[in-house]
């Protein structure tokens, strides 16, 4: 997932702004310290075209 964001020039600040969370919260989510909500996943998909399956890999 990190590679997708880097490849598409999507910053953690972009993600944080999209889901109305802090950059620190986004970092925790990106590194598996907290989970993404369905609403957050849908918002990131809508705003940036992120494939939803990226959020549900083991």
CATH number for the domain spanning 50: value is 1.10.260
Are the C-beta atoms of 45 and 55 separated by less than 8 Å? no
pLDDT at 16: 98
Residue 58 has pLDDT above 70, yes or no: no
* pLDDT per position as a tens digit, 16-51: 999 999 999 999 999 999 999 999 999 999 999 999
- Helix/strand/coil for 1: coil
3-state SS class at 14: helix
pTM score, whole prediction: 0.89
Q: 49: domain range? A: 2-56
- Please state the domain count of the chain: 1
pLDDT computed for residue 56 by the predictor: 80
């Amino acid at each position: 997932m990190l590679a997708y964001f880097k490849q598409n020039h999507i910053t953690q600040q972009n993600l944080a702004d999209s889901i109305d969370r802090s950059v620190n919260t986004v970092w925790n989510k990106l590194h598996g310290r907290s989970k993404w909500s369905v609403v957050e996943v849908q918002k990131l998909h809508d705003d940036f075209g992120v494939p939803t399956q990226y959020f549900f890999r083991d």
